[in-house]
Amino acid sequence: MTQHVKMTLNGQPIEADIEPRLLLVHFIREVANLTGTHIGCDTTSCGACTVQINGVPSKSCTLFAVQMDGEEIRTVEGMEQNGALHPLQEGFYQEHGLQCGFCTPGMLMTAEAFLREHPAPTDDEIRQAIAGNLCRCTGYVNIVKAIQHAAKHIREEQAAPVATAEVTR
């Protein structure tokens, strides 16, 4: 038995006939073939599967894809715009905010939504915001720096619009 779903994924419409029990993360990874969203724990603990649903960071390993009918989903693949990295991606690159890279897409999704609400956060506020995203490699120090790097860039950009960040190879 399948059910028809239709949603927006990174700005593009997508529809499919799927089993009602199909997890959102499996829909994204295996139906839409966007493998940037990862699976780390299956229990909403680690945050590797974090995507944005209508702009709100959500853990896609414990949601069904059929619940997303009509919703707007955004994944890490939707961050780069016109060949330019998002300031957060640039910040993680500049500040060495990633090592194995497995938690990074989820971390970016959480941070992006957070900065929209908190454009000038303290380090403690950032740490609280990413507490649902586990990283085993970095010890978080450089992730906090990376998010501050991005926050500063976004604030400057909004104060005086300039060309977006140089494309990183």
- Residues in the chain, how many? 169
Alpha-carbon torsion (93, 55, 118, 62), positive or negative: negative
State in angstroms the smallest separation of the CB of 56 from another protein: 19
Instruction: Verify binding: residue 49, another protein, rule CB under 8 A.
Output: no
Q: Out of 14, 16, 41, 84, name the contact with another protein by CB under 8 A.
A: 41
List phi, psi (to 5°) of 24: -55, -40
DSSP state of 81: B
Q: By rule CB under 8 A, what count of residues binds another protein?
A: 61
Using CA atoms, how far apart are residues 2 and 82, in angstroms rounded to an integer? 36
Instruction: Verify binding: residue 104, another protein, rule CB under 8 A.
Output: yes
Instruction: Verify binding: residue 58, another protein, rule CB under 8 A.
Output: no
Q: Out of 2, 17, 20, 42, name the contact with another protein by CB under 8 A.
A: 42
Tokens of 9: 């994924």
Stretch of 63-71, 76-84, 148-156, 158-166 lying at the interface with another protein (CB under 8 A): 76-84
Q: Out of 138, 149, 153, 154, name the contact with another protein by CB under 8 A.
A: 138
Using CA atoms, how far apart are residues 105 and 76, in angstroms rounded to an integer? 5
Angle value at C-alpha 107, between 79 and 38, nearest 5 degrees = 85
Stretch of 24-32, 52-60, 113-121, 152-160 lying at the interface with another protein (CB under 8 A): 24-32
DSSP-derived pairing of the beta strands 56-59 and 12-18: unpaired
Q: Where does this chain bind another protein (CB under 8 A)?
A: 19, 21-22, 26, 29-30, 33-43, 45-46, 48, 75-77, 79-80, 85, 89, 92-94, 96, 98-105, 108, 123, 126-128, 130-144, 168-169
